[in-house]
């Protein structure tokens, strides 16, 4: 009896929650139900909502919307602003209450996997099929086991090596040639360490490289270049492939080739000024940084210097079978709400298709943002931007790479990733030795009981 | 609820008395009055209680069920029996965060209490410029935690931070603070104490000022010295205030999250990972709301048990 009464408020709350979500949900589909393959009639007006974050600092959403609306005057897209840092938390809440916007970006493949379990995303296989054989775009990362697609990429950033050509020239060290392994990278850094002060750079504040504090800077390269499938190491609880990558990372900070992790982490060092104000000659970073660098060199937040892109160094121990350099990077995708119906669904699909294709890609390339569609004309637009790197190697680096997901995608990923984050700080602060720290990680991950599920 | 309704009861009862003719009528009228009072009382607390019910009570009750399920925030939770609890028992990260929370509380609570009490006694005396010092002591509490934590992180910087520069005058090898598993927690505790001392000092100061001066005069006449006056007059008179301070301080300590999140993010390794942050991580980083509920139930139970012990101790003393 007591229990029964205790449940009453809960039941009331549940009823109320259903009522509330009912109000927020239906964005009012006026049109008739018809096959989703049909495109929207040019004379039918439709208005859809789209999620975006930090709109004043992230011009890509507005650029896409403006470009699309110009070509499709009958469709109006309203951008709903989210917080950049808490985007996935807010979207999770929206999807679970059924109030997600019609179109929403998917920041990472892992979150794509999580959302695909929610039934909150519409099936986009019909659009994806149109791109499947296209050499200029890779949609395969969004293909689920059942062959369906719930999102399409509109940005395909990959990690590359940014380097400061002026600093290399002044120090007299030979620039990356596109064939580097991590050992070559270390050698070049050691030479720079010696020669940069002679070339007039402050020995105390200028470093050959900047390794940012994120765990991906060590772990995602190691995983992508391990030569093994994630099911044979990452999901199996074997993290020995991280060992040589951590040994190198520690060597770099011990030899003061980079700011040590502890200092960078407690002072919350930002990577943009490190490279932008010539505090580091080389920096592995995602291609999104190109847009920032171009912008900052224009507005004076960054120094004016010549820079270039090179492929990230490769694993010296495992020979690369493919001719393309192996790196990592998650595409950013667009998904459509499963609640969107009728004309709105048609309009949303039209928009997503446009963003993934040449039209959207050109618009993005024009603001130095790496798009998903790498055709010749898109590449030309990207490298024609004033202030962008100009040389052959940069162009090839940007266009050609074998890109693996930042994290292998699966049910256990978030947990493994979370435990490995602690491991990363243990190792990089040198409070634990590499071997024991990795063993401990393996045992902790096993204890979470996620590997066999 | 009673407090809101009470003044009305007495005034209504008085009005009723003046009109009263016969005994029977009085009973009926009294019942009507008590119904009306109940209705008014409920109306008074309704805005607050409804908010509490939907935003706190409902979710808390749901938590007891979700803790026994597997749930990613999408769809319905799947009941998994004791699976989460077995996992909890074997989860070394959970135990690390459990002991870290204890470590933090056991050091932080007495430290803050002693310093706050000492400051309150000091600033209750006729000290020159005491208003100024009261403000100074309270200041950390009103600073933004994120800004304060960031500044402290820089102060603690092992190489260029002022703290270690100072320490190097006396010892050659000062601690690595936030970069070391042994010293990260003490650093967090120092900042937490610095931040909260002012707040509890104000509470204790308010308590001190309610103690009648005659008690001290009487004690003095009886020949009690300063120390005796403190133990036999101040402390017993302060018991209600002290009880309140200790309970809120304890609950606050067990729930610590913001400071470790900004200063260390639980690191290095898991050396400053506390229960609340582990709950947050499991829920929002791993989308594992079922297991996060299990861990938060443990946190809830710990707070509950410790508070009950304090209540029991306080009541025993009061008798």
**What are the chain B neighbours of A10 within 8 Å (beta carbons)?**
58, 61-62
Question: Does any domain span residue B102?
Answer: yes
Residue B33, pLDDT > 60, answer yes
A192 and A144 fall within a common domain: no
Of B59, B156, B270, which is closest to A422 when you measure between CB atoms?
A: B270
Q: Which residues of B fall within a CB distance of 8 Å from A7?
A: 61
- 3-state DSSP assignment of residue A46: strand
Residues of A in contact with B266 (CB under 8 A): 422
- Given a cut of 50, is residue B5 above it in pLDDT? no
Give residue A38's pLDDT: 60
Q: Rounded to an integer, what distance in angstroms lies between the CA atom of residue B45 and that of residue B47?
A: 6
pLDDT at residue A70 is higher than 60: yes
By CB atoms closer than 10 A (0-12, 13-18, 19+), residue A80 is: middle
- Is pLDDT above 80 for B224? yes
* Residue-level pLDDT at B76: 83
Please report whether residue B81 resides in a domain: no
From the list A9, A96, A431, the residue facing B53 with the nearest CB is A9
Asked whether the predicted pLDDT for residue A11 surpasses 50, the reply is no
Tens digits of residue pLDDT in B241-263: 999 999 999 999 999 998 998 88
pTM for this one?
Answer: 0.81
The answer, yes or no, to whether residue A207 has pLDDT greater than 90, is: yes
In the prediction, which pLDDT does A35 show?
A: 42
CATH of the domain at B191: 1.10.3720.10
Cβ atoms of A292 and A377 closer than 8 Å: no
- Are B178 and B281 in a shared domain? yes
- Note whether A106 and A252 are same-domain residues: no
**Interface predicted TM-score (ipTM):** 0.75
Q: Where residue A284 sits, what CATH number does that domain have?
A: 3.40.190.10
pLDDT at B304: 92
pLDDT the model gives residue A452 = 56
Give residues with Cβ within 8 angstroms of A256, minimum separation 6.
A193, A207
**pLDDT score at B181:** 86
B38 and B101 belong to one structural domain:
no
Q: Which of B59, B75, B91 sits opposite A447 (nearest CB)?
A: B91
Say whether both B144 and B290 belong to one domain: yes
pLDDT at residue A8 is higher than 80: no
- Mean pLDDT (chain A) is 87
> Using a CB-CB distance cutoff of 8 angstroms, which residues of chain A are in contact with residue B59?
13
- For A426, the closest of B62, B92, B268 (CB atoms) is B268
pLDDT digits (tens, 9 = 90+) for A71-129: 999 999 999 999 888 899 899 989 988 899 999 999 989 889 889 888 899 999 999 99
Q: What is the distance in angstroms between the Cα of A97 and the nearest Cα belonging to chain B?
A: 9
User: Are B74 and A120 inside 8 Å of each other by CB?
Assistant: yes
Same domain assignment for residues A316 and A200: yes
Q: Say whether both A168 and A295 belong to one domain.
A: yes
- CB-CB neighbors (< 8 A) of B56 in chain A: none
B-chain CB neighbours of A268 within 8 Å are: 150, 153
Closest among A135, A134, A136, A139 to A150, alpha carbons compared: A139
pLDDT reading at A296 higher than 70: yes
pLDDT band at B22; cut points 50, 70, 90: low
Across the interface, whether the CB atoms of A448 and B87 are under 8 A apart is answered yes
How does residue B23 score in pLDDT terms, banded at 50, 70 and 90? Answer: low
Looking at the structure, do residues B61 and B113 belong to the same domain, yes or no?
A: no
For the stretch A324-349, pLDDT in tens is 899 999 999 999 999 999 999 999 99
Residues B257, B309: one domain?
yes
Kindly state whether residues B44 and B114 are assigned to the same domain. no
Residues of A in contact with B285 (CB under 8 A): 414, 417-418
- In chain A, the residue whose alpha carbon lies closest to the alpha carbon of B75 is A118
Residue B147 lies in a domain: yes
The residue segments making up the domain with residue B16 are: 2-66
| Termini Cα distance of chain A | 38
Cα–Cα distance between B129 and B126 in angstroms, integer?
9
Contact A267 B181 (CB under 8 A): no
Boundaries of domain holding A275: 159-326+406-447
Give the distance from residue B183's alpha carbon to the nearest chain A alpha carbon, in angstroms: 11
Shared domain check, B241 and B137: yes
Structural domain count of chain A = 2
Asked if A232 and A257 sit in the same domain, the reply is yes
Note whether A270 and A360 are same-domain residues. no
Q: With 60 as the cut, is the pLDDT of residue B77 above it?
A: yes
Are the beta carbons of A431 and B269 separated by less than 8 Å? yes
Q: Identify whether residues A148 and A175 lie together within a single domain.
A: no
Contact between chains at A422 and B153 (C-beta distance less than 8 A): no
Are A235 and A315 in the same domain?
yes
Is B84 within a domain? no
**Separation of first and last alpha carbons in chain B:** 26
**Domain contains B175:** yes
What proportion of chain A, given as a percentage, has pLDDT over 90?
Answer: 67
Say yes or no for a CB contact (<8 Å) between A10 and B154: no
| Residues forming a β-bridge with A328 | A404
Check if B146 contacts A (Cβ < 8 Å).
Answer: no
pLDDT at A21: 37
Q: Which of B92, B154, B265 sits opposite A267 (nearest CB)?
A: B154
Per the domain annotation, does B78 fall within a domain?
no
In a shared domain, residues A139 and A163: no
Cβ <8 Å between A431 and B181: yes
Co-location of B150 and B299 in the same domain: yes
A176 shares its domain with A146: no
Q: Is the pLDDT of residue A250 over 90?
A: yes
Under an 8 A CB cutoff, do A415 and B288 touch? yes
Over residues B112-135, mean pLDDT: 88
Average pLDDT for B266-291: 90
Residue B198 and residue B130 share a domain: yes
Please indicate, yes or no, if residue B85 is contained in any of the structural domains. no
Residue A251 vs residue A133, higher pLDDT: A251
- My answer on whether A118 and A220 are in the same domain is no
pLDDT surpasses 60 at A39: yes
Q: Is residue B245 part of a domain?
A: yes
Residues B136-141: contacts with CB under 8 Å, at least 24 apart:
B137/B197, B137/B198, B137/B201, B138/B198, B138/B199, B138/B201, B138/B202, B139/B198, B140/B194, B140/B195, B140/B196, B140/B197, B140/B198, B141/B195, B141/B196, B141/B198, B141/B199
**pLDDT tens-digit series, residues B89-123:** 989 999 999 999 999 999 999 999 999 999 998 88
Quote the pLDDT of residue B7.
44
Using 50, 70 and 90 to split pLDDT, how confident is the model at B21?
Answer: low
């Amino acid at each position: 009896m007591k229990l029964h009464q205790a449940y009453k408020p809960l039941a009331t709350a549940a009823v109320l929650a259903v009522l509330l979500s009912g109000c927020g949900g239906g964005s009012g589909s006026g049109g008739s139900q018809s096959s989703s393959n049909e495109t929207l009639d040019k004379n039918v007006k439709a208005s859809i909502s789209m999620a975006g974050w930090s709109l004043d600092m992230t011009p890509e959403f507005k650029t896409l919307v403006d470009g699309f609306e110009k070509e499709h005057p009958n469709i109006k897209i309203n951008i709903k602003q989210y917080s950049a840092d808490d985007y996935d938390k807010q979207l999770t809440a929206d999807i679970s209450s059924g109030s997600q916007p019609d179109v929403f970006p998917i920041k990472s493949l892992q979150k794509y996997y999580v959302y695909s379990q929610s039934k909150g995303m519409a099936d986009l296989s019909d659009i994806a099929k149109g791109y499947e054989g296209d050499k200029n775009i890779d949609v395969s990362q969004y293909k689920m086991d059942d062959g369906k697609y719930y999102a399409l990429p509109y940005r395909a950033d990959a990690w590359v090596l940014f380097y400061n050509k002026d600093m290399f020239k002044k120090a007299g060290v030979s620039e990356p040639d596109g064939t580097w392994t991590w050992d070559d990278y270390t050698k070049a850094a050691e030479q720079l360490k010696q020669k940069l002060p002679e070339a007039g750079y402050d020995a105390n504040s200028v470093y050959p490289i900047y390794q940012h504090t994120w765990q991906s800077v060590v772990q995602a390269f190691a995983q992508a270049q391990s030569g093994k499938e994630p099911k044979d190491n990452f999901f199996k609880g074997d993290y020995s492939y991280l060992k040589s990558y951590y040994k190198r990372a520690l060597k770099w900070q011990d030899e003061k080739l980079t700011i040590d992790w502890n200092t960078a982490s407690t002072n919350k060092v930002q990577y943009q000024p490190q490279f932008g104000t010539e505090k580091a000659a080389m920096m592995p970073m995602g291609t999104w940084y190109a847009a920032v660098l171009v912008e900052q060199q224009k507005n004076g937040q960054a120094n004016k210097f010549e820079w270039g892109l090179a492929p990230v160094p490769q694993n010296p121990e495992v020979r690369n079978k493919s001719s393309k350099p192996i790196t990592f990077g998650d595409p950013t995708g667009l998904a459509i709400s499963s609640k969107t119906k009728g004309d709105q669904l048609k309009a949303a699909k039209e928009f997503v298709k446009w963003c993934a294709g040449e039209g959207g890609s050109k618009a993005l390339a024009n603001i130095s943002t790496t798009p998903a569609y790498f055709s010749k004309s898109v590449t030309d637009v990207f490298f024609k931007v004033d202030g962008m790197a100009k040389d052959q190697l940069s162009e090839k680096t940007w266009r050609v790479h074998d890109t693996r997901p930042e994290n292998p995608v699966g049910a256990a990923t978030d947990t493994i990733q979370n435990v490995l984050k602690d491991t990363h700080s243990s190792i990089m602060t040198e409070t634990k030795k590499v071997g024991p720290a990795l063993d401990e990680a393996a045992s902790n991950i096993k204890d979470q009981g996620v590997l066999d599920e | 609820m009673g407090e809101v309704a009470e003044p009305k009861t007495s005034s209504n009862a008085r009005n009723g008395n003046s009109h009263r003719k016969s005994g029977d009528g009085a009973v009926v009228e009294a019942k009507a009055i008590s119904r009306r009072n109940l209705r008014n009382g409920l109306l008074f607390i309704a805005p607050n209680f409804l908010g509490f019910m939907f935003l706190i009570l409902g979710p808390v009750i749901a938590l007891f069920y979700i803790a026994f399920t597997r749930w990613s925030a999408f769809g319905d939770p799947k009941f998994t029996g004791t699976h989460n609890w077995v996992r909890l028992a074997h989860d070394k990260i959970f135990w690390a965060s459990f002991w870290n929370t204890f470590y933090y509380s056991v050091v932080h609570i007495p430290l803050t209490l002693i310093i706050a009490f000492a400051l309150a006694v000091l600033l209750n005396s006729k000290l020159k410029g005491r208003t100024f010092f009261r403000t100074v002591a309270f200041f950390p509490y009103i600073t933004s935690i994120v800004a304060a934590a960031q500044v402290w992180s820089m102060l603690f910087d092992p190489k260029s931070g002022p703290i270690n520069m100072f320490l190097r005058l006396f010892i050659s090898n000062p601690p690595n603070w936030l970069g070391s598993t042994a010293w990260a927690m003490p650093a967090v505790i120092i900042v937490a104490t610095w931040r909260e001392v002012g707040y509890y000092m104000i509470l204790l100061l308010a308590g001190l000022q309610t103690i009648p001066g005659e008690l001290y005069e009487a004690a003095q006449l009886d020949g009690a010295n300063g120390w005796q006056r403190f133990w036999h007059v101040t402390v017993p008179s302060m018991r209600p205030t002290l009880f309140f301070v200790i309970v809120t301080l304890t609950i606050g300590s067990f729930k610590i999250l913001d400071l470790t999140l900004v200063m260390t993010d639980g690191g290095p390794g898991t050396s400053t990972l506390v229960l609340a942050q582990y709950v947050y991580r499991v829920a929002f980083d791993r989308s594992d709301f079922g297991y996060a509920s299990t861990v938060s139930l443990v946190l809830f139970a710990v707070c509950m048990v410790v508070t009950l012990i304090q209540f029991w101790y306080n009541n025993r003393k009061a008798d």
